[in-house]
Chains A and B, each alone.
Chain A
Amino acid sequence: MIGPVQAGFQAGNYRAMVTDGGVHTISDWANITIKMICEPAPDASENVLKEISSFKMLAFKILVYAFNEAKSYKSPLALKAVAHDAAQRIADLSEMTRWRHLFDNPDMRQQIEDLISRNILTMREIALKTE
C-alpha cells in the first residue's frame, strides 16, 4: 500500500556565537567552524569519538592558521583562496581516517569551503564595523 507523500519541508538551525566585551577571537571562529564540519552522531562509539577528537584538534590548527591569514587580506578573491586552501588541507587530513569517503565527495568539499569562506567574510565584516 502506498502511503501519502511526505512534503519534506525542513528548517535547519543557526548556532549562536557570543563574545562579551569585544569581537570573536580567531579561536572562536576556528572552534565553531570545526564543530559545524565534524558533528559526531549521538550514538557514536567511544573509539569513534576519540578519532573525531584527534581529527578536530588537527583541523582546528588548520582553521586558526586560515583565519589568521585572512586578517591580512581584503579582496574577496584572496579570502576565498584562503578558504579553498583550508578546505583542501582538511580534506587531506581525512585521508587516513574512516571519513575519507565523505571528504572525497565534491559536494561535501564545496560545502566545507563555502562554510569556511562565509565565516571568514563575516569575521571581516565585523572587523570593518568595529575598527
Chain B
Amino acid sequence: MAGFTTAFPTSFKGELPQGVHNFTATTGHDFKVALGKVSPTGTYGAATTNYSNLTGNSDETSGTGYSAGGYDLTAAQNLTPATSGTGAYWQWGTNPNWTSATFSTVGCLIYNSSASNKCVYVGSFGGTQSVTSGTLTLVQPANGVGTSLLQLN
C-alpha cells in the first residue's frame, strides 16, 4: 500500500557492516531530510533504499519554503553513535525545520548525501501535517535506548 511507514531500511542494515555510512560528529558524512507529499504513489518503509525512490515517483513535497532535496544535516550535526548495555543508538544534534512555509507532508526519508543518497531512515508522521505561512519542525525524540531515531539493540 502506498504511503510511509517508520522503518530502519533493510538496505541500510547491509551497508552498515560494509562501512558505507559514517555518522561520526563533525568528520563523518552529511545527511539530508526529504519530505514526502500527501497521497504518494510509492511505498516507503523497510524496502526503501535511496532518495531516488522518492524522486523517481515524484513523491517529494513541494511548496513555499521547501527546496527539493530537503533539510541539510551536516556532519557537524551528527551525534556520534553511543552505546548503552548491549545496544547502540544515534541521531542528530538539530531538529529539521522549515520556515515561512506553506506545504503538506506525511512522512520523510533521511539519506546520506555523501554516499550516493542511500537511505538510512524512513519516518511516518501518522497523518498529514500541513503548514500555512508558518513553521514546521520535526522534533527528535530523546537520544537513548528505546527512543532514538536509529538504534541497534
A-B contact count (CB 8 A): 127
- Residue B114 interfacial (CB < 8 Å): no
- The B-contacting residues of A in range 97-125, CB under 8 angstroms, are 107-108, 111-112, 114-115, 118-119, 121-122, 125
- The A-contacting residues of B in range 121-143, CB under 8 angstroms, are 121-126, 129-143
Residues A18 and B135 in contact in the complex (CB < 8 Å), given A9-B152, A11-B123 = yes
Asked whether, in the complex, the Cβ of B149 is within 8 Å of the Cβ of A14, the reply is yes
Asked whether, in the complex, the Cβ of B151 is within 8 Å of the Cβ of A16, the reply is no
Q: Which of A10, A22, A118, A129 is packed against the most chain B CB atoms within 10 Å?
A: A10
Asked whether, in the complex, the Cβ of A119 is within 8 Å of the Cβ of B95, the reply is yes
B69-100 interface code vs A (CB 8 A; 1 in, 0 out) = 00000000000000010010001011101011
A125 contact set on B, CB distance < 8 A: 94, 97
Chain A interface size, under 10 / 10 to 19 / 20 to 34 / 35 or more: 35 or more
- Residue B148 interfacial (CB < 8 Å): yes
- Residue A48 interfacial (CB < 8 Å): no
Asked whether, in the complex, the Cβ of A16 is within 8 Å of the Cβ of B125, the reply is yes
Q: How far is the CA of A12 from the CA of B149 in the complex (A)?
A: 4
Give the residue of A7, A8, A20 whose beta carbon is less than 8 angstroms from that of B131: A20
Asked whether, in the complex, the Cβ of A122 is within 8 Å of the Cβ of B142, the reply is no
B152 contact set on A, CB distance < 8 A: 7-10
Closest Cβ of chain B to A38, distance in Å, is: 11
A residues adjacent to B (C-beta < 8 A): 7-24, 32, 36-37, 107-108, 111-112, 114-115, 118-119, 121-122, 125-126, 129-130
- 5 A-B pairs in the complex with CB atoms less than 8 angstroms apart: A11-B150, A13-B149, A24-B137, A122-B97, A126-B97
The 4 closest A-B CB pairs, nearest first, are A8-B153, A14-B138, A20-B134, A122-B95
B residues adjacent to A (C-beta < 8 A): 6-8, 13, 84, 87, 91, 93-95, 97, 99-100, 108, 121-126, 129-144, 146-153
